[in-house]
Chain A
C-alpha cells in the first residue's frame, strides 16, 4: 500500500497536468477531460499503482460545470484514488468512456447519461437506463418535474 505522498509523486510523473486537492479525506486528482482516459489506462497498467477495481463512478452538477468522479482501488495493494474531471461546457458535456478498461463502468456511465445527460465517447451502448421513456435529466440542479411538483 502506497501512502498519499508516494501516490502523488507517481501520478504527477504519469500525468504532468494533474492537480491535487489539499485537505481531503482521499487523494483527489483532477485532470483535463481529454487526458482522463490516458491517465486511467496508465494507472491500471502501471505495476506501481495497479488500479484494477473501479468502485464507483458518478457526476456532480456544480451549476457552473459538471464534475465526473471515479473512485479507483487496487485490489493487490489496497490504495484508493479519486479521479476527477471538470466539464465546463454543460450543454455539450462529453468525456471519454472508460468501459474498455473497466467493464463495470459501462453501466455506471449509462446511469450518469440517464440522470445528468453527459455524453460518453466510444461507449458501446449509450441508451436511457432507469427511465426508458423519460424526459429531462433529473439529477441536474435546474431540473423541474412538471407533473409531480413538490417545491420546498
Chain B
C-alpha cells in the first residue's frame, strides 16, 4: 500500500463518509437503498431511498374492478398475501352490506393465521441468517414448506393465492385441509421449541440483539410503527383486538406486548406470536361450520358512492384500505396504508449511533418487505 492510501484509510476513521447500502444489498431483502452516513463504523444518519419497485398500484386500481384489484394486493406484501386480499374484501362487504357466511369467516381466520405463521417462519430464517446463523434458514424453510403445501393443495398456488373474493372464497377448501392443518399444528408444536434452543438462548445472538436499536413507545406511536415491531415497544396496536374482523371475536388469544423496545424484544414478540397463532388455529379448525363458501353476490360489484375505511392486522402491522367510490365498478381513488411504509422510516431514528453491523440486525428485526413500501 502506498503512503497516500494509508493516509486515506486513516483519515476515513475520523471523517464522515457516505455508503450506499443497496439497492442490491443482500440484507435489505429487496430493492431498497439506504444512504448511510458513517463516521468510522458508527452510523451518523441514514436516508432510505425507495421507489425501485414502484408499480403504481393505486393508479392501476382506478381502472380495474374490485375482484381484479384483489390480485394486485397480493403483490404488495407477498408474505401476507391472504391478509391483504381480505382487507379489500372487507371494504367491499362493508360498503355493500353483505353478511358473509360463518364458514367463510372461520376459514379466512385460519388462513390469516397460517399465513402469519409462514411469514414469521421466513422472517425468523432470514433474521438468523442476517446475524450469521445459517442453520435458521434450513429450519425455518423446512417448516414453512408444510404450510405452503397446504396452501397449494387448497388454492393451487403457494405464495400469491388470491383465494378470498368479495363475499366469500373462490371455492371451498380441499377435503384434506382440516386433517393436514391439524397434522401441521402437532408437528410445529414440537419444532417451535427447537427454534428457541437454536437461537433465542444463544449468547452471540443476545449480544447482537439486546439493547440494539432501542425504540421508545412514543417513537413507535409517532412514526406509526405497528405490528410486532410496534408491540415490541409496548404500543398496543393489534387490530385483531381493537377492531375484530373474521372470527377473531370468537377465539381466545392474547395480544403480545414487550416493553424493552430493542431488537430482542421485537424478536420475542414474533416468537410468542407464533404460539398464539397456533392456539387460534387450534380453536377454529375443528369448529368450521357447515354452509356456503360464498354469499350471494351480484355479477358486477359496484360500491355505493361514499368513503370506506377498513383496517386489518397483517404479519407486519396495520394495513388500512381507504376507498372513495363514485358508484362505478372501479374505485374513484383507492389508498393502501401499508405497514412497512411507516416501519421503514423509523430506522433513521433508532439506528443513529449504532454500528453498521447492528444496522443489519435492526432492519432484520423490523421485518421489511420492500414491494409493500413502494406499492
Contacts and interface: CB of A to CB of B under 8 A. Distances in A.
Interface of A: 24-26, 28, 52-56, 58, 60-61, 69, 71, 75, 78, 82, 102-104, 106-108, 115, 129-132, 138-139, 150, 152
B224 A53 contact: yes
B54 A131 contact: yes
B110 interface: no
Contacts of A58: 322, 333, 335, 337
Contact of B54 (A75, A78, A106, A130): A130
Contacts of A71: 309, 320, 322, 337
A33 to B, nearest CB: 19
Given A130-B54, A139-B58, A150-B63, 5 more contacts: A58-B333, A103-B219, A104-B224, A131-B51, A132-B51
Tell me the interface secondary structure of chain B in the complex: mixed
6 contacts: A56-B337, A82-B307, A103-B349, A107-B345, A130-B51, A152-B63
Interface of B: 49-51, 54, 56, 58-59, 63, 94, 219, 221-224, 235-237, 242, 306-309, 311, 318, 320, 322, 324, 332-333, 335, 337, 341-342, 345, 349, 374
| Closest 8 pairs (CB-CB, A-B) | A130-B51, A104-B224, A56-B337, A130-B54, A58-B335, A103-B222, A104-B223, A60-B333
Contacts of A60: 324, 332-333
A116 to B, nearest CB: 11
Given A24-B306, A75-B235, A129-B51, A107 B341 contact: yes
Contact of B342 (A28, A104, A132, A139): A104
A107 B306 CA distance: 27
Contacts of B345: 104, 106-107
Given A55-B320, A139-B58, A25 B50 contact: no
Contacts of A24: 306-307
Nearest to B218: A52
A75 B59 contact: no
B156 to A, nearest CB: 28
